[in-house]
Amino acid sequence: MITANLRVLTRVGLLAATALILFLFESAAPRPLPWMRLGLGNTAVLVALLLAGAPAAMGVSLIKILVGGLLTGALAGPTFAISGGAGVASLLVMIVLHHLLSAQLSPVGISVAGAACHQLSQIAIASVYLGHSNLWTLAPLFLISGVASGVLTGMIAYFAVHRLRQISPAEPAR
């Protein structure tokens, strides 16, 4: 039991560190479009969900949001509320889909749905913050870039999980 817990703890720690490195790398890298992020940090969250389940994914996501906000200086600012809120919303969607539709969806489908939810949540939170400003005209471009980044992060997560399972085949399949 202790070994199992240790394994989960180690995994969450490693994946959270990976998520943070990717998140920081992406914050510094130029963006393909002003409103587009590839969401590379989300790859680690998705890997945690697929390998270790919902609680581990929540752990990785919260560490990424809080420590990432602290390191980029955005903590407690409006952009933190937007990206943090959107991060939580998209994770919830991915958890639900992973549990209900894992026979129909691969990590790519789960990731695309999560990215779409992330983008829509960002607009919703920003609209509320800015007070009844209608920002929904931005939605199509946000969603299209979300599909692109969702496919990319889903593919990376799929191959990462595939490889990690080959390395530690003793892991019970989920």
Partner 1 sequence: MRKPFTTGDLAVAAGVLLVSVGQLLWQRESAVSKVTSATIQEQNARIHRTLPAAAGTLTVSAADGLGDLRIELDGSRARVLSAPCRQQICIRTGWLERAGEVAVCVPSHVVLRLHGEGADAWLDGVTR
Q: Which residues bind partner 1 (CB under 8 A)?
A: 31, 34-35, 50, 73-74, 77-79, 82, 101-109, 112-113, 116, 126, 129-130, 132-141, 143-144, 146-147, 150-151, 154-155, 158, 161-162
Contacts 24+ apart (CB under 8 A), 36-42: 36/145, 36/148, 36/149, 37/149, 38/149, 38/152, 38/153, 39/115, 39/118, 39/149, 39/150, 39/153, 40/153, 40/156, 41/68, 42/87, 42/90, 42/111, 42/114, 42/115, 42/118, 42/153
| Angle between helix 107-129 and 41-52 (nearest 10) | 130
Shortest distance, position 2 Cβ to partner 1, whole Å: 27
C-beta of 39 vs 107, nearer to partner 1? 107
C-beta of 17 vs 24, nearer to partner 1? 24
C-beta of 7 vs 72, nearer to partner 1? 72
Shortest distance, position 48 Cβ to partner 1, whole Å: 14
> 76 in the Ramachandran plot: left (φ > 0), alpha (ψ -120 to 50) or beta?
left
8 Å CB contact between 153 and 42: yes
C-beta of 88 vs 105, nearer to partner 1? 105
Shortest distance, position 104 Cβ to partner 1, whole Å: 3
Shortest distance, position 165 Cβ to partner 1, whole Å: 8
Shortest distance, position 32 Cβ to partner 1, whole Å: 11
Q: How far apart are CA 168 and CA 77, in angstroms?
A: 41
C-beta of 7 vs 109, nearer to partner 1? 109
